[in-house]
Amino acid sequence: MSKTPSSSIWVLSKIKLQFFTRIRRFLQSKATRKRCDPSDEFDMAKSRAEHNNKVENLEAVQVMHKHKEEESEILLQKTVKMLHFGSCEEKEVAAKEIEKLAKEDVMVRKLITELGVVPVLVSMVASPAAGRRRAGLMALIHLADGTYTNKALIVEAGILSKLPKTIDHVDDSTICAFAELLLSLSSLANTQFPLASLHFFPLLRNILETGSSFDTKKSCLGALYNLSTVLENAGPLVSSGVVPILLEVSLVKEISEKALATLGNLLVSLMGKKAIESNSMVPESFIEILSWEDKPKCQELSVYILMILAHQSSLQREKMVQARIVPVLLEVVLLGSPLAQKRAMKLLQWFKDERQTKMGPHSGPQTPRFAMGSPLNQTDAKEGKKLMKSLVKQSLHRNVEIITQRANAAGESSKLKSLVISTSSKSLPY
């Protein structure tokens, strides 16, 4: 059956319509891709470039790090070989190179000591050549930094026997290096390594006495403090003659704190207490330090030392009264730190309660039988008490105006006046 012309035309039109519809869709999708593709391709290209850069940078860093490690390893091997088998000049150069390498980190310092360099460096410390001696010192200082093991190896290598007896002909930079090394090694005081060497303590005293810079003195004081924390070291320290020097240094504000802390540790021993009590600077030097309002820690340590000295010692208490300690203690009560105020008030209470209060094992200076003055003659004891009361009252009245002005507060002023008025009462406020 043949198709009519109208039906053929309809089929052809439908086919054309479908064709043009597909063409239009294709063109639309292509146009859309054209609008979107440039940015997408740019982002993808940028991302690929960044990734490639990261990969290249990482590879470069890894290669550089590996190359650096190889160079460091070769340099270390060469340096250690030069230190062990080189000439005196080569040993000095090697020691300086070890100092540089030891500054990197703890692991490098431990690795270097495992190569057996410590005994050679220790032997260089006793060298008569100043440059070689200083190079060995600086290398040991940096090797000991932050590692207990290296410090122990330095002591085991005999550094204490290599220390000089005197620094009379040593330059300031080398003296400072000696002090720094001694400070580092002194941290072993609480270990099984005994540091009470024949040279260790006298050298510290010599450096502290003749050293010119504050840094050198601070290092020495830090070392003495570390050593004084061990009771067994008190005797050798006192025998080495450090007490008079510590008392002198304690009057220098910049370095006073460590000196006072060391004296406080030495006071715990009988030998240390006797050495401090018998010095002509005591108690005046500690009373002077009590007036340092800008150094509260020094005030606290000074009044602590005075408390120990005053405990069960009528002679020391009498010396303190004669040195006019009472008005100074009143200033500390008004203007000192909380701890210094508490200790100063306790001392004031001791002086006021001298006559009647029975003192316990931690409550003050009184002995159970005798008051201040002669322990045998009661008449002299009464006269001594009257004299002390008179001195206290005169001192208070003479200094009350100065103290109240410094207090600069009505409340504190009234507190001070109440102290003055109550001088004949049984006790001062604590």
Question: What pLDDT score does 16 carry?
Answer: 58
244-260 CB burial, b ≥16 within 10 A, e <16: ebbbebbbeeebbbbbb
| Whole-number Å distance between alpha carbons of 120 and 391 | 66
358 pLDDT tier (thresholds 50, 70, 90): very low
Number of alpha helices (DSSP H) and beta strands (DSSP E) in the chain: 21, 0
Q: Is the pLDDT of residue 266 over 70?
A: yes
The total of other beta-carbon atoms located within 10 Å of residue 116's CB is: 13
Q: What is the pLDDT of residue 285?
A: 95
Mean pLDDT of 352-363: 52
CB 154 within 8 A of CB 118: yes
The pTM score is 0.68
Query: What's the CA gap between 204 and 217, in Å, rounded?
Result: 9
283: preceding bond cis by omega (within 30 degrees): yes
* Alpha carbon distance 275, 265 (integer Å): 13
The 10s digit of each residue's pLDDT in 155-201 is 989 898 888 877 888 888 889 999 999 999 998 887 766 676 667 78
Q: Could you give the CA distance from residue 115 to residue 101 in angstroms, rounded to a whole number?
A: 13
Q: What residue has token string 């220790």?
A: 122
Q: Dump pLDDT digits (tens) for 78-112.
A: 888 888 888 889 999 999 999 998 888 788 888 88
